[in-house]
Structure 1
Amino acid sequence: MQERLERRSFIFTLALVTVAFALLLKPFFTAIFWACAVALIFHPLYRYLLNRFPRWPNLTALTTLILCIVVVVIPVLLVASSFISEVAALYHKVQSGEINLGAKVEQIRQAFPGINAALERFGLNFDGLKERLLGGLMAAGSLIAKNALALGQNTLNFFVSLGLMLYLTFFLIRDGNALVALLIRALPLGDEREKLLLAKFAEVTRATIKGNLVVAVTQGTLGGIIFWVLGLPAPLLWGVVMTVLSLLPAVGAAIIWFPAALYLYATGDTVKATVLMLYGVMVISLVDNILRPILVGRDTKLPDYIVLFSTVGGLLMFGISGFAIGPLLAALFMAFWEIFMREFIAEDTPLLPPRNSSPLELDEPQNPGDNPAS
């Protein structure tokens, strides 16, 4: 009795201390997550270098981290700073009246007179929709401009978080295998289950981050290039916006280039509009349709609709980091339920049906004689 009470008290205290420690680390959650993600992505490079220089693990891990900074961190910081500058400049031009968004919307209305009739069929009013759109754009521009100012004022906090992330990344790269072994030993889920879940975590994290970022950067770069070639304003700004929006499956960069093509049609630039429309459909969208299933869907083994909902939900819940956290949580959800079905229901049935099958097609016997139970 005494031993049972002591065990339960210890477990309760352990849970309490663990929750308190998790709350202590809550402000650094984003930095910790990205440190884990970067370590997972660059760990194969570390293993390759360590096989060539086995006597210098610290130097090998430091070299891997420096390559990560040069390849990823510095380019992202440069593009982000340029993006923030262009957004702030564009917002001030709109606010000062140098760019009249209302007049540009009216140009589209005059070029496509059928818009009013189409909206009225759905009970919508163009003027009301126009006011909402302009209000939303101004609010978004104001938010970005204020965040840019806040980022400038909180530069120290940003670089402290970045420094903590890189510092933790070094140790995760160097000691990753030992930490995983310690985690497997500590968790009370069963070694085989823990190995499977940690493998799923690593697999989905690599696939989601590498795949989504490759697709997003490719689409954003292609979009920015065509905007620059056609002489459209702020190609870097719209390229970065398309990169961010490309994190959303199915819609992505089309949110930018399609309205831009419609505006060019409305202003009479038919050639540019046609070029942009064809380029968007045949090049930018094709990148999404080809690369995303290969780099994301195949490795995560998640259907496109689950990837879409988990990505959008992750972005809404966790911010920009949600494009990786959302699909990761979805994959872990699927993995837990597959383990449950296999071990507790004693069914070797996949959680999702094959893509070519219909859930309404049941394997019913053709006649009573075919039923084994009859």
Structure 2
Amino acid sequence: MAERKLEQRSFLLCLVAVTGLFLLLLKPFFAPVLWACVIAVLFHPMQLRLQRAWGDRPNLIALTTLLACVVLLVIPVLGVLASFLQQGLALYQQIDEGDIQPGQYVDQIRSAFPALQALLDRFGIDMEKLRSAATGAVVASSRFLAQNALAVGQSTFGFFLKLALMLYVAYFLLRDGSRLTTALVDALPLGDERERLLFRKFAEVTRATVKGNLLVAMVQGALGGLIFWILGLPAPLLWGVVMAILSLIPAVGAGLVWLPAAIYLYAVGEWTSATVMLAYGITVIGLADNVLRPILVGRDTKLPDWMVLLSTLGGLAMFGINGFVVGPLIAVLFIAFWQIFSREFNEPTSVSDQQQLASPETAE
């Protein structure tokens, strides 16, 4: 018996070590593998419909689903990304050549709003330092954007290699996903019911987070770029994409772009355009975030708004752009594990507690 326990512990130790090494081996390909899983989850309903229509033809169904993903997602995103980088590089060149001077914008705002200067002096804020910091931030941001645009152009092969890897892995996940899930349920020692619950949570959160956040981002970016174009502001596509990216941050998002733009328009005397921008930002762009995000993200993930915000910010800080998926996913798995623990390891103290713990969906 002692020898058998020693063998089991040694095997488990080797299992953990080999699994850790394998995950370390996959670390450089974290983003392609993550988005391959996201594609497989997002397009799984389409795959099921094709299975009902075409029967048991896994290779053809997986290939057709992947082609739909490329047409609907990959090609449009690549087109927008190329235009975004092009306009970003042009903006940096204008700043570098002196055609655009960010410091002048701060001076115009200061001269247009004397009360702002008095308010800042009251709180001991040096306007010159603020001006220098704003100028440095704009220059650094544009330089970062230009450098990354050049880096993307110079590393085109690496970018498309990772894109091909993502699609390649997604194909096999679409084709063999059900079998892989069943194999993991059989292999993991957490209990089949718990494992299926966790896999279901993973699919629900991934689908809700990606569909919800991306839809909100696209809507807000499109609305923001549209108003910039209508008002004749420069680089509407660039600022539309920036607003789409910033809108991944709940409760803050696109306001970091359209609100300073409205303030600047007031400062230069464009009162009508500024009022239109402010009203449009509050009612149209803000309404898209306040209405769509809770419906598409919070409702399906069963997360409160404050946890969606914190998990998204934490995910973005730890994992970069991939964090808007990973952060809420970790938060939901955290809640799911504690719900399982509460249901199975704590005895109910009353009949109402027994009824609540009997149904995990009620606790959600």
Same fold per superposition (TM over 0.5): yes
- The aligned residue for residue 118 of structure 1 is 119
Secondary structure of the structure 2 residue equivalent to 1:346: coil
TM-score (norm. length: structure 2) = 0.94
Deviation at 1:122, TM superposition (A): 2.4
Are residue 342 (structure 1) and residue 346 (structure 2) matched?
no
Residue pairs, 1:1-374, within 5 angstroms: 1-347=2-348, 348=353
Deviation at 1:346, TM superposition (A): 2.8
Q: Is the 8 A contact 1:46 1:64 kept in 2?
A: yes
Deviation at 1:124, TM superposition (A): 1.2
What CA deviation, in whole Å up to 9, does each residue of 1:238-266 have, x standing for no partner? 00000000111111111100110111111
Letter in 2 for 1:144: L
The whole-number CA distance in structure 2 between the counterparts of 1:277 and 1:318 is 33
The whole-number CA distance in structure 2 between the counterparts of 1:336 and 1:141 is 43
Letter in 2 for 1:309: L
Query: Number of matched residues?
Result: 353
Deviation at 1:154, TM superposition (A): 1.1
Q: Is the 8 A contact 1:116 1:125 kept in 2?
A: no
- The aligned residue for residue 359 of structure 1 is none
TM-score (norm. length: structure 1) = 0.92
The worse-fitting range, judged by mean Cα deviation, of 330-339 and 64-73 is 330-339
The worse-fitting range, judged by mean Cα deviation, of 202-211 and 55-64 is 55-64
Q: Extract unaligned runs of 5+ from structure 2.
A: none
Deviation beyond 3 Å, 4+ runs, structure 1? 347-351
The whole-number CA distance in structure 1 between the counterparts of 2:343 and 2:126 is 54
Deviation at 1:4, TM superposition (A): 1.4
Identity of aligned residues (%): 57
Secondary structure of the structure 2 residue equivalent to 1:188: coil
RMSD over aligned CA atoms reads 1.5
Deviation at 1:345, TM superposition (A): 2.4
The whole-number CA distance in structure 2 between the counterparts of 1:134 and 1:310 is 31
Deviation at 1:106, TM superposition (A): 0.6
Secondary structure of the structure 2 residue equivalent to 1:250: coil
The whole-number CA distance in structure 2 between the counterparts of 1:78 and 1:103 is 33
Q: Is the 8 A contact 2:102 2:138 kept in 1?
A: no
Secondary structure of the structure 1 residue equivalent to 2:253: coil
Deviation at 1:306, TM superposition (A): 0.8
Deviation at 1:230, TM superposition (A): 0.8
Secondary structure of the structure 2 residue equivalent to 1:195: helix
The whole-number CA distance in structure 2 between the counterparts of 1:335 and 1:46 is 27
The whole-number CA distance in structure 1 between the counterparts of 2:125 and 2:173 is 54
